[in-house]
Amino acid sequence: MTFTWYWIGVASMAAGSAYFGLAAARATERRWQVLWSLYFFICLIAFALYLVMATDYGAYLAEGGHNTVWIRYVTWFLSTPLLLLALTYLGRSTSTLTGGLLGANAFMIATGFVATVLTEDTPAALHLVWWTISTGAYLAIAWAFLGRYKREAKAALPASASVFDRLVLVHLVLWTAYPVVWLLSPEGLAVFGGPVEAMLYAILDIAAKVGFGFLAANTLRTIEQNGEAG
């Protein structure tokens, strides 16, 4: 079952990168070139790394027989900054906010990686301490999106204010699911096993990359219709 989900990941990311890549190549306006290229690379990175997992690399077998898939953190470390850049581009965020988001995100993924790859002899509590540290960084990101990000976007694009409520809501619902899945997975409290974890991350990755790419495009289209593009 796990490998089926990895191959579903490979296929979805291949389709996503082909679609977004073609759209980027065909786009004539700079704003569309920027947006489509970001989602092209987001999907391309995930395509390569799903292929690694689908061909049975990128994990080590932890005690208790579950796989700790460290390569997910490589994907996330590379693709989450691009996802954030697409959002800050759409919302015309200041460089102060963009820098803060990227910094907190790097810290979040790096400390989440530590939580995951601590050795099997490490007390479970220590894994959870690192999860908590990483979640602290995530909460800072969520806070910034609900406050400053929306304020800046609505000030720059007043006629399109409502699209940012939807964009931030979908973004936060998707991203919040990751630490929850981690906590319930064999890395955390082991409420479910590795195969369910692999399925849930695959579904989330497809929604947060391919699905969200279409939502971002939709948002840019609305901004254009409101006469606020360019």
Q: Contacting ligand RET (CB under 6 A), which of 163, 209, 222, 223?
A: 209
Q: Contacting ligand RET (CB under 6 A), which of 59, 108, 142, 198?
A: 108
**Cβ 110 to ligand RET, closest distance in Å?**
9
Angle between helices 71-90 and 161-184 (to 10 degrees): 170
Longest dimension (CA), the chain: 59
The type of residue at 97 is L
Under a CB-based contact definition with an 8 Å cutoff, are residues 5 and 202 in contact?
yes
DSSP 3-state of 187? coil
Q: Which two tokens stand for residue 54?
A: 């689908």
Report if residue 12 touches ligand RET, rule: CB under 6 A: no
DSSP 3-state of 61? strand
**Cβ 108 to ligand RET, closest distance in Å?**
5
Under a CB-based contact definition with an 8 Å cutoff, are residues 76 and 88 in contact?
no
Q: Contacting ligand RET (CB under 6 A), which of 138, 145, 149, 164?
A: 138
Q: Which of residues 143-202 bind ligand RET (CB under 6 A)?
A: 175, 178-179, 182
Tokens 């989440």 found at: 112
**Cβ 51 to ligand RET, closest distance in Å?**
16
**Cβ 201 to ligand RET, closest distance in Å?**
8
Q: Contacting ligand RET (CB under 6 A), which of 5, 50, 131, 145?
A: 131
Q: Contacting ligand RET (CB under 6 A), which of 9, 58, 112, 194?
A: 112
Report if residue 69 touches ligand RET, rule: CB under 6 A: no
Report if residue 9 touches ligand RET, rule: CB under 6 A: no
Report if residue 81 touches ligand RET, rule: CB under 6 A: no
Interface with ligand RET (CB under 6 A), residue total: 19
Tokens 């690379």 found at: 41
Q: Is the dihedral of CA 78, 49, 117, 84 positive or negative?
A: positive
DSSP strand E in the chain: where? Answer: 60-61, 67-68
DSSP 3-state of 18? helix
Contact set with ligand RET (CB under 6 A): 76, 79-80, 83, 108-109, 112, 115, 131, 134-135, 138, 175, 178-179, 182, 205, 208-209
